[in-house]
Amino acid sequence: MAVDKLSEKLNAIASKESSGWKESAQVAADNAAWIKKSQLIALKVLRTLRELGITQKELAERMGISPQHVNKLVKGKENLTLETIVRVGEALGVDLFEVLIVKQAIHTQKQIIISFEESFDDEAPMVEMIYNAQKDKYASFKTAG
């Protein structure tokens, strides 16, 4: 069966509603910079909750907001206000702005290293060594701060 005929047949049984996926992909690309920061905060919040054995519901109670609001926040897709970032950090006893600076820097370096590893397999141990040295540098910066 010719491909255009198959396409025609599949189009005939395909749902007529729009998937809207092309637009979603475009929105994600246009907002990638703040989404990355929202993801870093969500990750820190989730790992702190796990470490301290606190539920999302308990965090919501501490902050006086709804559990649904906390659940949106930990998905890393919310455009958070400065007030929210400060209040969540205070409720958990962590500085979420620090996460944005240190984690983002480490993550960017790690991405560069991954790209190197993909291109130069033999160089990987050396690159890993450079990464670890840089990571230590950021760790000392964090402690000093």
By CB under 8 A, which span of 12-20, 59-67, 81-89, 135-143 interacts with another protein? 12-20
118 binds another protein (CB under 8 A): yes
Which residues, numbered 34-53, are part of the site for another protein (CB under 8 A)? 35-36, 39, 42-43, 46-47, 50
Candidate list 27, 52, 114, 139; residue touching another protein; CB under 8 A = 114
In this structure, what DSSP letter does residue 53 have?
T
CA 34 to chain centre: 10
Tracing tokens 């480490």 back to the chain, one arrives at 106
The 10 Å CB-count burial string (b at 16+, else e) for 94-118 is: bbbeebbebbebbeebeeebeebee
Candidate list 37, 48, 59, 76; residue touching another protein; CB under 8 A = 76
Residues present in the chain in total = 145
Candidate list 27, 28, 52, 126; residue touching another protein; CB under 8 A = 28
78 three-class SS:
coil
Closer of 14 and 129 to another protein (Cβ): 14
In this structure, what DSSP letter does residue 17 have?
S
Q: Compute the least distance from the CB of residue 103 to another protein, in Å.
A: 8
Contact positions toward another protein, by CB under 8 A? 1, 3, 6-7, 9-11, 13-15, 17-22, 24-25, 28-29, 32, 35-36, 39, 42-43, 46-47, 50, 71, 74-77, 107, 110-111, 114, 117-118
